[in-house]
Amino acid sequence: MHIPPYVIGGLLALLFTYAIAYEMRWVAQGLGAMTPPGGRHIHTQPVPRLGGLAIFGGALLALLATLPIDQSVALVRETRYVVLAVPYKPLPLPVVGILLGAAAITALGAIDDVRSLPGRVKFPLIYAAASIPVWFGMTTDFITHPVTGAVVPLGVAGKVFTVVWLGSMAIAMNSIDGVDGLAAGVSVITGMTLLSAAAYRHDVLTMTLAAAAAGSALGFLRHNFNPARSFMGDSGSMLLGFLLGAAAVRGLAKAATALSLAVPVLALALPILDTGYAIVRRYRNGVSIFIPDRGHLHHRLLDRGLSQRQVVFMLWLLSAILGLGGLAAAGISRTPSLIILAVIALFLVVLGWRLGLARLHRLHATELAGPANLP
């Protein structure tokens, strides 16, 4: 009997996170890390918001146990014994950098969950944490030209891209964490999408990383689905965005083609688009881009009369469709891939128009975060 390491990693992350989340609810209450109702928040009772530490604990334990395993674990039955054969090798330095970066970004998020940090302080620190894997050698060295097929070296630009990507994915996942279960569910879908893309390349390490991120998100989802008993907070949402972004970069290192970018970009399209729209909206309203508001996509859908669960299921479905579109575009020849990407782009434009996103949302004072309700 052979068990792939990514299966073990995903299951361990799910079980550990699910169990630790119970304890973190009590810790959050003791520290006063509670999200009050009112303002831009839609819940009606104070909710603990240190669930991200459970996600970190579950994912870290799973990754430490399974990342050194590069082949399937064998369960062999001998005449008088049952032997568990675990192939082991030292962790590569870039993977060590990912784990250290995950710890740094989780610590930053936890501090923000306990006592809110100003955006002008928090955002530079996010990118500082995102630079840790690059210091350990994780980068995108080259990309293949989509027309000629020539290899284009990226040099320093590859390192800058990696830092910006990792930090931006942490921020983007944090941006959509406004409805019970939304960020956790999107993380599960994105993780499974990246795992599928890595399976096509037989990239076991990336599969394990994506499976652990998806498993920890799924384990926490039981505590976070509406009505939520615990919030993941910035510590959880930023960690999941960082880990999924890291899995995407690892995948690009194996297949750095222009079309292969479709998988991570479309898998993470929902948080990317929502964050980009938020920046434009706040800038046009003359508000600092660091100040959270109630103009996100999930808020707009709630304002149209949908329930929290309806919003979550709708956005989960949209995330899954985009992820499947990315897999389809990256897995076939160039011309059909471009057609698929064009259809997806048209679909997003039409959807945004029908939801009224083309009209920039004017913010009212009640929709801006005050001192009592910063995320």
| Known binding-site positions for Mg(2+) | 174, 234
Rg from Cα positions in the chain? 20
Rounded to an integer, what distance in angstroms lies between the CA atom of residue 273 and that of residue 287?
A: 19
How far apart, in whole angstroms, are the C-alpha atoms of residue 151 and residue 160? 19
Q: Which 3 state secondary structure label does DSSP give 175?
A: helix
In 3D space, the residue among 357, 348, 329 whose CA is nearest the CA of residue 257 turns out to be 329
Place of tokens 């801006």: 368
Strand partners, 350: none
- Closest C-alpha to 25, from 52, 1, 61, 62: 52
Residue 136 to residues 139, 184, 300, 305, Cα–Cα distance (Å): 9, 28, 41, 48
CA dihedral 302, 307, 309, 311 (to 10 degrees): -30
Binding residue ranges: 174, 234
Q: Where does residue 45 rank: exposed (0-12), middle (13-18), buried (19+ CB within 10 A)?
A: exposed
Number of Cβ within 10 Å of residue 141's Cβ equals 13
Report residue 98 as tokens. 């990912």
Which residues, listed in sequence order, are joined to residue 153 by a DSSP beta bridge? Answer: 142
Question: Residue 165 in contact with residue 206, Cβ under 8 Å?
Answer: no
Give the chain's length.
375
Residue 177 CA to residue 180 CA, distance in Å, equals 8
Q: Cα–Cα distance between 121 and 145 in angstroms, integer?
A: 38
Q: Which two tokens stand for residue 154?
A: 């990226």
Distance of CA 303 to the CA centre of its chain: 25
Query: For residues 338 and 325, is the Cβ–Cβ distance under 8 A?
Result: no
